[in-house]
Amino acid sequence: VMNRLSGWGWRSSGIAWLALLPQLLWAAVLTGQVVGISDGDTLKVLDANHQVHTIRLMGIDAPEKAQPFGQRAKQSLSALVFQQQVQVEWHKQDRYGRIVGQVRTRAGVDVCLEQLQRGMAWHYKQYIQEQSPPDRITYAQAEDAARAQRLGLWQESSPTPPWLWRQRH
């Protein structure tokens, strides 16, 4: 990055670094083919360099595999993206080394949002500050609509959110 900055005549200017910082923190994009589905919010992408990346879908939390609807959430994600080319826009890795990102199909479908719309995940509000303001609203509305229509996991009268299920197990 410093070489690029110095090429622009911004050698060590603190102002230049501050202006560029948000772009440096947010601008990573990964493309590749989905080669594995771990659960309803985690998949594996093979990039052009034949490296496999584990991707945690940003903004959602799906039931764990052993939870009710856990297998259905995994099947839903598989039907959406398995063996397809995707683009992952990301800005961080979680404590397990997984890339946390927003996944889109070649057709532009937001896979995270689609899982919410199908009733296969919760909007993960614990990390809401990491989403853009429009995504926060859209994801919350998608969860509310799936809940109102009793889609997927919302067929249960009181489904246990995965973050509470993980604490108990």
Once rounded to an integer, what is the mean pLDDT over residues 146-159? Answer: 96
CB 98 within 8 A of CB 56: yes
Instruction: Tell me, yes or no, if 64 is annotated catalytic.
Output: yes
Rounded CA gap, 29 and 10, in Å? 25
User: Of the residues 4, 11, 64, 147, which is catalytic?
Assistant: 64
pLDDT tops 60 at residue 4: no
Instruction: Tell me, yes or no, if 89 is annotated catalytic.
Output: no
CA 48 to chain centre: 20
From residue 129, alpha-carbon distances to 32, 46, 132 in Å are: 27, 29, 8
Rounded CA gap, 109 and 116, in Å? 12
Provide the pLDDT confidence category of residue 136 given band limits of 50, 70 and 90: very high
pLDDT, position 95 = 93
Rounded CA gap, 72 and 53, in Å? 23
Give the tens place of pLDDT for each residue, 17-38.
Answer: 344 344 445 559 999 999 999 9
pLDDT tops 90 at residue 3: no
pLDDT, position 116 = 98
Q: Which of 135, 133, 134 is nearest to 60 (CA)?
A: 135
Average pLDDT, the chain: 87
pLDDT, position 27 = 58
User: Of the residues 56, 114, 118, 143, which is catalytic?
Assistant: 56
Instruction: Tell me, yes or no, if 98 is annotated catalytic.
Output: yes
pLDDT tops 90 at residue 103: yes
User: Of the residues 4, 95, 98, 143, which is catalytic?
Assistant: 98
What is the percent of the chain with per-residue pLDDT over 90, rounded to a whole number? 82
What is the torsion angle, in degrees rounded to the nearest 10, for the CA atoms of residue 53, residue 58, residue 60 and residue 66? 20
pLDDT, position 169 = 86
Give the tens place of pLDDT for each residue, 64-74.
Answer: 999 999 999 99
pLDDT, position 25 = 52
